Amino acid sequence: MQIISLETQIEDITTAYPEAVGFLIRRGVRCIRCGEPVWGNLGELLEEAGIEDPEALVVELNIYLQTQEKGS
């Protein structure tokens, strides 16, 4: 499984891991606008959303995605 980082492009995340969209939305991070992924990377998006600890959220996201993959 590819590991998501702060440098990962939002479009790549939404394409490869659509379940990440719901995870991010539940944490107040909108990565889809008008039906399309927002431009930029995850770090930029988390900064824009005012996330205090972006690195911790990325770790949590990767753990979430790994558990989703195992549940498939």
Tell me the per-residue pLDDT of 34-53, one tens digit each, with 9 for 90 and over.
888 889 999 999 999 999 99
Residue range(s) defining the domain that contains residue 26: 1-51
Q: Please indicate, yes or no, if residue 36 is contained in any of the structural domains.
A: yes
**How many structural domains comprise the chain?**
1
What tokens does 39 get? 């431009």
The closest alpha carbon to 41, from 25, 27, 54, belongs to 54
Query: Higher model confidence: residue 57 or residue 34?
Result: 57
What tokens does 60 get? 């949590």
Q: Please indicate, yes or no, if residue 64 is contained in any of the structural domains.
A: no
pTM over 0.85: yes
Q: Please indicate, yes or no, if residue 71 is contained in any of the structural domains.
A: no
| Per-residue confidence (pLDDT) for residue 28, from 0 to 100 | 94
Q: Please indicate, yes or no, if residue 14 is contained in any of the structural domains.
A: yes
